[in-house]
């Protein structure tokens, strides 16, 4: 028979063993919970990347109210991926090689919006004359991104590398300025289009104001500071009634949010010039057109719709007069951009501190010959050998202005800007590119091929 002391020891031992079992069970449960949590987190990340890559953001044509969020989600992922791999010697080698000048005293230029219409043409022109060029573009879906990818492929053939990323990604911009001492920045990235601002106003503030400020912040802290040439717009003249538009005319009556953000950019540029010594040149573009153009521009979608047999809207002012534009051919605008770069003086700051007064300029880049939109349509009809189904209506109050006309005497005086391409010649080159790029056989081509086969 066991003694009372033995029974006490047995009870204590059982209690201890029970305690150990509970502790082990708790540890096992905690370990299992952590394992399940980590597995779920990993699965979620895999699904996020899978759906991001498999189902890209819809263009704003399908979701105009949410386009900005879609663009930024995509840009965040692409920029994060780039930064995670930016220590790779291969990536840095591509960027350095692209930005290295091929001629004595050549420029080293960061071109923002390099996959865009004006950006791609300027990048190619800079490269062809021997300057170093590195592009930056977020490839957003404001219009068909495949056109931007085609421009990117064209630039790659000429050894111009484009970094895919967003202006609002400060870490990315600092990385680029860290590995390359840019002498100049040609800032052409922007949210374009007057009418789209009524559907997605936030995208204009994000790109044209916040993105511009972010670029200026990085540029001001660079050593050496680059000189900046950037795209403003003829839209800043807004409700101005004096003609032709001069840089001295008032620009405090914008007719659209797009115009307001560009005007804000000019004021912001003045501030960074005054405080930090950045050399800044604003270029006010007047209705740029030509090969590789933007599908949201009238000459582009008029061509598309005429070929498809669709009706086109031709606007008249509320007093019955035709809307007219100072259409400017892309090659003339490129010459103006390069002239502004070549005459841009060095910034006077260093590491964010101003050392002396710096250059601050504003120029019109136009054709100086306004053309009624009806005449534009007539030229396209002749080039396409097709009659347009015109729907003449009063111009809606959506931010468009009835008339633009550039005075370019200041640009001519300072860097010899002189447009040489009239609308008929420019549209001929555009139509030739359009039908070739989209593989379209116009009626004129069909008739010519029919005559050739019968001979």
Indicate whether 121 belongs to any domain.
yes
Q: Which residue matches tokens 């009706």?
A: 311
Among 34-48, 81-95, 195-209, 366-380, where is mean pLDDT lowest? 34-48
What is the extent of the structural domain holding 196? Answer: 54-286+330-368+404-420
Indicate whether 362 belongs to any domain.
yes
What's the pTM?
Answer: 0.81
- What is the average per-residue pLDDT within 172-188? 97
User: CA–CA separation, 324 vs 405, rounded Å?
Assistant: 9
Cβ atoms of 153 and 194 within 8 Å: the answer is no
Q: How confident is the model at residue 25 (pLDDT cuts 50, 70, 90)?
A: low
Indicate whether 325 belongs to any domain.
no
Cβ atoms of 212 and 233 within 8 Å: the answer is no
Q: How confident is the model at residue 80 (pLDDT cuts 50, 70, 90)?
A: very low
Instruction: Say whether 258 is catalytic.
Output: yes
Can you tell me whether residue 123 is helix, strand or coil? Answer: helix
224: CATH: 3.40.50.720
Q: How confident is the model at residue 249 (pLDDT cuts 50, 70, 90)?
A: very high
Indicate whether 132 belongs to any domain.
yes
Indicate whether 395 belongs to any domain.
no
Indicate whether 297 belongs to any domain.
no
Residue 320, φ and ψ in degrees, nearest 5: 90, -5
pLDDT per residue over 31-73, tens digit each? 555 554 555 545 555 444 444 444 344 333 333 333 434 444 4
Name the domain count of the chain.
1
Cβ atoms of 177 and 222 within 8 Å: the answer is yes
Catalytic residue among 142, 143, 204, 258: 258
Can you tell me whether residue 165 is helix, strand or coil? Answer: coil
Can you tell me whether residue 313 is helix, strand or coil? Answer: strand
Among 83-97, 154-168, 275-289, where is mean pLDDT lowest? 83-97
Indicate whether 312 belongs to any domain.
no
Indicate whether 6 belongs to any domain.
no
Interacting residues of 116 by C-beta distance below 8 A, sequence separation 6+: 137, 148, 151, 188, 189, 294
């Amino acid at each position: 028979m066991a003694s009372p002391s033995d029974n006490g020891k047995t009870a204590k031992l059982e209690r201890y063993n029970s305690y150990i079992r509970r502790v082990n069970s708790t540890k096992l449960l905690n370990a299992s919970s952590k394992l399940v949590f980590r597995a779920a987190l990993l699965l979620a990340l895999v699904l996020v990347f899978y759906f991001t890559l498999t189902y890209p953001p819809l263009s704003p044509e399908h979701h105009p109210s949410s386009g900005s969020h879609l663009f930024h989600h995509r840009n965040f992922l692409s920029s994060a991926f780039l930064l995670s791999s930016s220590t790779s010697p291969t990536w840095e080698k591509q960027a350095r090689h692209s930005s290295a000048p091929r001629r004595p005293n050549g420029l080293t230029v960061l071109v923002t919006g390099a996959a865009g219409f004006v950006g791609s043409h300027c990048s190619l022109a800079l490269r062809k004359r021997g300057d170093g060029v590195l592009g930056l573009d977020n490839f957003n879906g404001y219009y068909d991104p495949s056109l931007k990818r085609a421009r990117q492929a064209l630039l790659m053939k000429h050894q111009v590398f484009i970094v895919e990323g967003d202006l609002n990604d400060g870490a990315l911009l600092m990385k680029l300025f860290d590995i390359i001492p840019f002498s100049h920045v040609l800032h052409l990235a922007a949210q374009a289009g007057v009418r789209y601002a009524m559907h997605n106003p936030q995208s204009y503030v994000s790109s044209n104001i916040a993105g511009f400020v972010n670029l200026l912040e990085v540029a001001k802290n660079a050593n050496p500071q680059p000189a900046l040439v950037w795209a403003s717009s003829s839209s800043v003249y807004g409700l101005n009634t004096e003609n032709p538009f001069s840089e001295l005319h008032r620009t405090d009556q914008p007719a659209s949010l797009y115009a307001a953000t560009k005007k804000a950019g000019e004021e912001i540029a003045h501030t960074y010039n005054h405080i930090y010594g950045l050399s800044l040149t604003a270029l006010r573009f007047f209705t740029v057109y030509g090969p590789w153009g933007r599908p949201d521009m009238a000459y582009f979608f008029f061509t598309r719709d005429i070929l498809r047999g669709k009706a086109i809207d031709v606007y008249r002012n509320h007093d019955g007069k035709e809307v007219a534009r100072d259409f400017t051919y892309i090659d003339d605008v490129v010459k103006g951009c390069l002239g502004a770069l070549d005459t841009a003086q060095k910034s006077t700051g260093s590491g964010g501190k101003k050392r002396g007064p710096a250059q601050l300029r504003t120029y019109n880049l136009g054709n100086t010959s306004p053309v009624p939109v009806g005449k534009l349509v007539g030229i396209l009809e002749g080039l396409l050998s097709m009659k347009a189904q015109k729907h003449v209506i009063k111009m809606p109050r959506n931010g468009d202005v009835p008339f633009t006309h550039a005075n370019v005497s200041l640009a001519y005086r300072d860097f010899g800007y002189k447009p040489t391409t009239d609308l008929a010649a420019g549209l001929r080159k555009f139509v030739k590119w359009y039908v070739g790029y989209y593989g379209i056989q116009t009626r004129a081509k069909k008739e010519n091929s029919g005559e050739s086969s019968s001979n």
